[in-house]
Chain A
Amino acid sequence: MNHRYPFIVIEGLDGTGKTTLRKGLFRLWEGLYGVTPLCMLTTNFLAANQATAIVTGKYQPNAGNRDAYLSAIAADKRATLDRLVLPQRPARPVIADRWLLSELAFFAVKHDMRVSETYEALAAQLTAAPDLTFVLDLETDASMSRAQARQGDAVRADWDVHDVQSRVRETYEAVVTKPDEFPLLGDVVRLDARRPRSEVLLAAWDVLRERQLVPPVAARTEGGENHG
């Protein structure tokens, strides 16, 4: 029997509540199920020799660095799977803030690449799919308004603008309506991010329960993770 915890991905435009849902799922797992999840990002800089290509390709994208960037994030995801996701899943859930869908959208918007082309390039490197990809869905105006209300430097001038975000959302829409063509997304579930965030968390929890991706609560007191 292959015993392991789920690999869960959270996707959505900036401002849709990805971080809040990630924190909520973290607290749910740790508080109720007694298991501390590993939370990670879409790129984790685990392929050190690819770091320059990742930074350049993400923040100064152009036709000249496109392929190097795509190759770099594929290598980074492969390293993330090999060094984080696969070793950790027997002990804890893994929750990723963005993963494959965001990369498909980035290359579609910044490089006019077909999502199928980007997908094939990444899929050649990826050995495992998430069990579930949550897509937080919210109108572009609303998500941008939320993102701009946040503190910090998370808003990018070349990315968090209406036309770019609208195209990102269109890409999400095109991909999630054809899940069979993108099996490395795992099961894709859209969540209505217009709702209060506690209700979004509840909806995500419902999905996990329906798919038996959380343990039965009665087993909770028998033991659990050793946090030491």
Chain B
Amino acid sequence: MTSWTLPPRPPGSPPLAHAWQTLADGLLTQRLHLHLDEWRAAVAEGKVLPDVPGADVSVPAQRPSPLPATEGSAMALLEAAGLGFWWELPQRHGAESRNQHGALHRAANTAAQNILAEQSGMAWSDAVTAVSDAAAWWVGFFTVIRHRGVHHITLEPHPSPLHEQALGTAVSVVAHGMATRVLEEALRNSDDDPDVRAAYCRAIEAGICVEPELPRLIDELAELRLVDLVSTTARWRGRFTKYAGGTGAGQVE
């Protein structure tokens, strides 16, 4: 028999990773508002992106689908997970939906389905779907203005062109990361639901499987804002290197 107990939590010492996640979330919000006019102008022109061959600007700009009937509780879960902004800003600023689904949306949908394994209709499953849809929008947002950004290491302008396939991978990675946050919040309320625990394990497995690909993906994305979006959302060893060295702000936003 076990003759010991788990240690009590020390008061007043929240994990530093939580603070870094909060900073990373704030940086996304800041960047969206800093570049909203620029993004709108690019979307209004409705052209193919100069640095992503074959990518139509208008498709990823569409706002994600609204939350289904469980909206109230799914939204409450998103808020509790600190992801209200992640869902609301695309709804507020996204272009009117024309029900066109591009590669980014398909990647988000696949990522959500892999985690949910046909579970639907619960607040947590709707929230996973919602953050995954939003992942396609956020990746699309920074893709539209990517050609005006800088390389994430050199801070030199004009990052090299990239393939649309890399953007699909980026969406998948971001969707998995955000879904993981949703499921953790759902489990903090109760870890008794076996479906939520199974979905959480699938999200963890997906994160482990994709981790070896992340350095190559980041190399290809190259541009600072896209790189920050992916690297601070995915659960991997490099998640908070942006902050761990005492930097993380004041460079190029």
Contacts and interface: CB of A to CB of B under 8 A. Distances in A.
B208 A227 contact: no
A1 B2 contact: no
Interface string B189-230: 111000001101110110110000000000000000000000
Interface string B1-38: 01111111111111111100000000000000000000
B235 A27 contact: yes
Please tell me the size bucket of the interface on A: 35 or more
- Determine which residue in B16, B18, B205 has the highest number of CB atoms from chain A within 10 A of its CB, and name it: B205
Contacts of B4: 1-4
Contact of A211 (B2, B9, B15, B17): B2
B184 interface: yes
A215 interface: yes
Contacts of A209: 191
A208 to B, nearest CB: 11
A222 B8 CA distance: 10
- Determine which residue in A20, A32, A213, A225 has the highest number of CB atoms from chain B within 10 A of its CB, and name it: A32
Contacts of B9: 215, 219, 222-224
Contacts of B17: 30, 227
B98 interface: no
Nearest to B12: A223
B7 A90 contact: yes
A100 B49 CA distance: 58
Contacts of A32: 184, 187-188, 191, 200
A129 to B, nearest CB: 12
A225 B17 CA distance: 9
B181 to A, nearest CB: 8
A20 B209 CA distance: 9
A202 B6 contact: no
B180 interface: yes
B6 A221 contact: no
A5 B9 CA distance: 12
A31 B184 contact: yes
A201 B204 contact: yes
16 contacts: A3-B6, A24-B201, A24-B205, A28-B204, A31-B204, A31-B235, A91-B7, A199-B198, A201-B201, A213-B2, A213-B6, A217-B187, A217-B188, A221-B188, A223-B9, A226-B15
Interface of B: 2-18, 180, 184, 187-191, 197-198, 200-202, 204-205, 207-208, 235
